[in-house]
Chains A and B, each alone.
Chain A
Amino acid sequence: MRFERIRKEYPNGVVACESISFEIQPGTVHAIIGENGAGKSTLMKVLYGMEQPSSGQILFDGQAVTIPSPQSAIDHGIGMVHQAFMTVGTFTITQNITLGAEPQRRGFVDSRRAVAEVDELARRFQLDIDPLARAQDVSVGMLQRAEILKALYRGARILILDEPTAVLTPQETIELFRALRGFAASGRTVIFISHKLREVLEIADEITVMRGGHLVGQTTPEATDEVALAGLMVGRSIAIADRHPAAAAGEVALEVAGLSCLNDLERPACTEVDLEVRAGEIVGIVGVEGNGQTELVEVIAGLRAPTGGEIHLHGDVITQASVRSRRAAGLHHIPEDRMKNGVALPESIEDNLIVDRYTGSTVRRHGLLSPKRIGRFAEELISRFGVRAADSKVPAGSLSGGNIQKLIVARELGDQPLVLLASQPTRGVDIGAMEFIYAELREARDAGCAVLLVSADLGEALTLSDRIAVIRNGRVVARFDDVAAVTEEDLGRHMLGAAESKEPA
């Protein structure tokens, strides 16, 4: 398979890809890395038929092909596993996998055969799933395996994986990699898109690096290392893995005592969680997704009602306080799912930046909102936090994912908060934005902010945190005060439960 001088210019004049040419060998795992906006997503959309190239072509076995739609891509044997899973929660795993391609008998869906086929496929590729479980009841890891099987079920020979490990535990990642190697060994091709350089070095046979719409390098894991790759990606050298521990922690700023809450299905999500975050320290919470960390943060932020326990903010009980009064008391929040509740995508950057201060004098005049003051306030934050936007009046939805996250960080850290809840602060953002967000979090901490960090990225938790707590089944199961002495494997064992950790991995 070969990309031949692919160029993609969007109608608004943005050139996302410029003359990209390279080859992907069958039977290999080919990683494509680059910052957000480097053009790798666009390139994949072109390959998957979601976008048409402005010029250039795609060749299979030397034959130029046009791919007008995802359906045509599937017909060509291309499968894509998106970052956000496209599953129907109330359908079973089998139904989700066979959706739209169900085996039929006399015009009806032959569900028994569907289950058998899916089961056989899962066994063949060593992707462990429960064909009869409902999608809403299973783990993210299984959903992802189902998505992969969905592509394979449709006969994919080329599998595109967009940031597949973002939601996985280290152990699940190992299993995924084993499966990916199996595909490659069977002559299939895997295109692996990631920000995590270490994983890329581990899994890829070949690595293509993109920056600013251009192809800036091709290499193999043997010929490079993390630092060199990061440098190639951003065009200068950076170091994000360095730890910068807090100088000294101060008073307890946020205290959670015996906190319990339910999840959306009314089942217990957190049970008697005790936590303390001091001014000037970052406390990391790690755990497999769905173990209560999301709900815990929501309860502290005031978005979910607790069923027991208390929350203290600088000694004051805020357990029943409204979101607004919590914000007024200095409790800020970078939400886990920024597209869900972190921004209003159709609204302007300005409107998105003032949500916690539209009643305040910085943006008002004569008792009304002042466009001039709002504009000045927004422009200042935009330039201070390096949000790439042409104008503060453009809709937030026109920004890239990384810039939307910067927008949120700018809003939440723009004035020094006392306590910051940072949930997955760098999920899906590029390495440049990640470096920037790390620096901002540390700067806030050093200025005396108490930061509660929830991250699915153990490397991130270990890099940033001064103390770490592991959460499993809604309970804190382990605490580490000396983060320097902890490894990802230690955390992983506690995340999965001590009983499992006795088994050899």
Chain B
Amino acid sequence: MTATESAAVAPPVPGDDREAARARVHRQRRSDLVAAFVAMIVTIVIALAIGFVILLIVGKDAVAAYEWLLTGPFSRTTRIGRVLIDTTTLTILGLSVAIPFRAGLMSLGAEGQLYMGALTAAVVGLAFPLPPGLGILVPALAAMVAGAIVGFVPGWMKAQFGANELVSSLMLNTVLVRIYGYILTEYLTEEGSTSVASAYLPNESLIPTFTQLTGVSFDQANLAVVLVPILAVAVWLILQRTSLGYEVRMTGSNRLFAAYGGISSRRVIILSFIISGAIAGIAGAHLVQGVNGRALLTLSVGTGFTGIMIAILARNNPIVIPFAAFFYSYLKIGGDVMEQELSVGTEIVNVILALIVLLVTSQFVMSLVKRRRLSRLEAKGQP
């Protein structure tokens, strides 16, 4: 039997019907996107509402607190700047884990990679005086290489020995943060310095800040913000348009199918860890070359893990990650403002953020939205 005859076996949706079906599929996909967006907004609103009730219960002025929380980040230009700084760092970290996450690999090493990136950027920036342009680029690229190298370790351990990447990448963080502290204290801190910190990097190695550029104070917010859309699109391209991205997606979706199709899981594991580490390394360079101008002993307290949360919040969608990072940073800074202006602690912001994470990981709102839509459709279906 030939293919033409086979059409008779399964008279698949001829002409118009097929067009209609296709239109339905596209409508469906659009409405899925809308549903995802609605779910995100509803999640945040629910979390805010619960936080509001908690404030009322503990007898605080909830209305005033929320006014500061929600408008605070715009009350001063420096606060806008701080939102931008955090958005940049968290977007980079969120994107860094998106690739291994899509491959079904739990990489928790962003924190350590960030520290190694920061250390390398500082060392290279201080050791090699370079002309403007290269002065920014070379330490940042070195930070990527450093991040990639430490990212490679848990990936290689998994590919070679089947070591659990979750444990090895997590444990490696502790080691790397200590190494950072040791090198910083012993070799980079100048004699007579009052705090543990490296010298300031030469101006050529510092990313220009908006304060310098505009004359208005935007805290330390700097041009690294442009990396947010660039990296988001780059990660999207890697995942959607490259062979590696295809391999990552198939491996994450069905490991056995990938193996059956001839995809090497070894390659996927190692490469996704290397790329992940390289991206996280940029976050370190951003902190050293952009935000602080030097290497400080405490760069982040769990920022790497916040980045992981951002990726989960955005369901590993690289285009959504910047928005999730912005929302998070906005609430965080709003909380700080609230604390400064009123006697309401930032704890309530942590409660709200934790609620958001809980709601997202439980997929509670998403299933709610879907169910409502279903019942609406079914109601329509009834005569």
Please tell me which one of the listed residues B3, B8, B246 contacts residue A351 in the complex, with CB atoms under 8 A apart: B246
Asked if B237 is at the interface (CB within 8 A of a chain A CB), the reply is yes
Q: Are B242 and A301 in contact (CB under 8 A)?
A: no
- Across the interface, which residues of A come within 8 angstroms of B34, CB to CB? none
Q: Are A369 and B246 in contact (CB under 8 A)?
A: yes
Number of interface residues of A (CB under 8 A): 52
Asked if B12 is at the interface (CB within 8 A of a chain A CB), the reply is yes
- Across the interface, which residues of A come within 8 angstroms of B162, CB to CB? none
Asked if A445 is at the interface (CB within 8 A of a chain B CB), the reply is no
Task: Tell me the residues in window 204-239 of chain B with beta carbons closer than 8 Å to chain A beta carbons.
Answer: 237
Task: Tell me the residues in window 355-383 of chain B with beta carbons closer than 8 Å to chain A beta carbons.
Answer: 374, 377-378, 381-382
Query: Main secondary structure on chain B at its contact with chain A?
Result: helix
The CA-CA distance from A11 to B374 in the complex, in Å, is 6
- Closest A residue by C-beta to B240: A369
Q: Name the segment of A26-34, A176-184, A385-393 touching the other chain.
A: A385-393
- Closest B residue by C-beta to A368: B241
A486 CB, nearest partner CB in chain B, Å? 25
Please tell me which one of the listed residues B25, B250, B259, B263 contacts residue A347 in the complex, with CB atoms under 8 A apart: B250
Given contacts A323-B262, A324-B264, contact A388 B10 (CB under 8 A): yes
Asked if B24 is at the interface (CB within 8 A of a chain A CB), the reply is yes
Q: Are A390 and B246 in contact (CB under 8 A)?
A: no
Q: Are A435 and B9 in contact (CB under 8 A)?
A: yes
The CA-CA distance from A64 to B367 in the complex, in Å, is 32
Q: Are B242 and A388 in contact (CB under 8 A)?
A: no
Task: Tell me the residues in window 372-399 of chain A with beta carbons closer than 8 Å to chain B beta carbons.
Answer: 383-391, 393-394
Asked if B76 is at the interface (CB within 8 A of a chain A CB), the reply is no
Asked if B160 is at the interface (CB within 8 A of a chain A CB), the reply is no
Q: Are B10 and A355 in contact (CB under 8 A)?
A: no
Asked if B6 is at the interface (CB within 8 A of a chain A CB), the reply is yes
- Across the interface, which residues of B come within 8 angstroms of A384, CB to CB? 3
Asked if A228 is at the interface (CB within 8 A of a chain B CB), the reply is no
Asked if A9 is at the interface (CB within 8 A of a chain B CB), the reply is yes
Q: Are B381 and A390 in contact (CB under 8 A)?
A: no
Task: Tell me the residues in window 1-39 of chain B with beta carbons closer than 8 Å to chain A beta carbons.
Answer: 1-3, 6-10, 12-13, 18, 21-22, 24-26, 28-29
B291 CB, nearest partner CB in chain A, Å? 34
Please tell me which one of the listed residues A356, A385, A393 contacts residue B261 in the complex, with CB atoms under 8 A apart: A356
The CA-CA distance from A335 to B257 in the complex, in Å, is 10
Asked if A343 is at the interface (CB within 8 A of a chain B CB), the reply is yes
Q: Are A355 and B261 in contact (CB under 8 A)?
A: yes
B103 CB, nearest partner CB in chain A, Å? 13
Q: Are B249 and A342 in contact (CB under 8 A)?
A: no
Q: Are B12 and A341 in contact (CB under 8 A)?
A: no
Q: Are B9 and A385 in contact (CB under 8 A)?
A: no
- Closest B residue by C-beta to A324: B262
The CA-CA distance from A435 to B259 in the complex, in Å, is 29
Given contacts A384-B3, A387-B12, A390-B18, contact A358 B243 (CB under 8 A): yes
- Closest A residue by C-beta to B24: A390
* Contact-residue bracket for chain B: 35 or more
- Closest A residue by C-beta to B29: A393
Asked if B187 is at the interface (CB within 8 A of a chain A CB), the reply is no
- Closest B residue by C-beta to A366: B241
Asked if A433 is at the interface (CB within 8 A of a chain B CB), the reply is yes
Q: Interface code A334-374, partner B: CB below 8 Å = 1, 0 otherwise?
A: 01000011111111000110111011000000001100000
- Across the interface, which residues of B come within 8 angstroms of A383, CB to CB? 7, 12
Please tell me which one of the listed residues B3, B12, B22 contacts residue A388 in the complex, with CB atoms under 8 A apart: B12
Asked if A3 is at the interface (CB within 8 A of a chain B CB), the reply is no
Asked if A68 is at the interface (CB within 8 A of a chain B CB), the reply is no
Given contacts A11-B378, A303-B260, A341-B260, contact A390 B22 (CB under 8 A): yes
Please tell me which one of the listed residues B13, B21, B260 contacts residue A323 in the complex, with CB atoms under 8 A apart: B260
- Closest B residue by C-beta to A352: B257
Asked if A322 is at the interface (CB within 8 A of a chain B CB), the reply is yes
The CA-CA distance from A342 to B260 in the complex, in Å, is 7
Asked if A480 is at the interface (CB within 8 A of a chain B CB), the reply is no
- Closest A residue by C-beta to B238: A368
The CA-CA distance from A386 to B18 in the complex, in Å, is 13
Q: Are B250 and A351 in contact (CB under 8 A)?
A: yes
The CA-CA distance from A33 to B9 in the complex, in Å, is 17
Q: Are B264 and A322 in contact (CB under 8 A)?
A: yes
B380 CB, nearest partner CB in chain A, Å? 9
The CA-CA distance from A9 to B13 in the complex, in Å, is 18
The CA-CA distance from A289 to B294 in the complex, in Å, is 67
- Across the interface, which residues of A come within 8 angstroms of B134, CB to CB? none
B156 CB, nearest partner CB in chain A, Å? 19
Q: Are B381 and A9 in contact (CB under 8 A)?
A: yes
Asked if A436 is at the interface (CB within 8 A of a chain B CB), the reply is yes
Please tell me which one of the listed residues A303, A345, A369, A435 contacts residue B243 in the complex, with CB atoms under 8 A apart: A369
Q: Are B264 and A393 in contact (CB under 8 A)?
A: no
**A-B pairs with beta carbons under 8 Å apart, 8 shown:** A12-B28, A351-B246, A355-B262, A358-B246, A384-B3, A403-B10, A435-B1, A436-B6
Residues of A within 8 A of B (CB): 9, 11-13, 54, 234, 236, 301, 303, 322-324, 326-327, 333, 335, 340-347, 351-352, 354-356, 358-359, 368-369, 383-391, 393-394, 403, 406, 432-433, 435-436, 439, 443
Given contacts A347-B254, A390-B24, 13 further A-B contacts (CB under 8 A): A11-B377, A303-B260, A341-B260, A343-B254, A344-B253, A346-B254, A354-B246, A355-B250, A369-B240, A390-B21, A391-B21, A439-B6, A443-B1
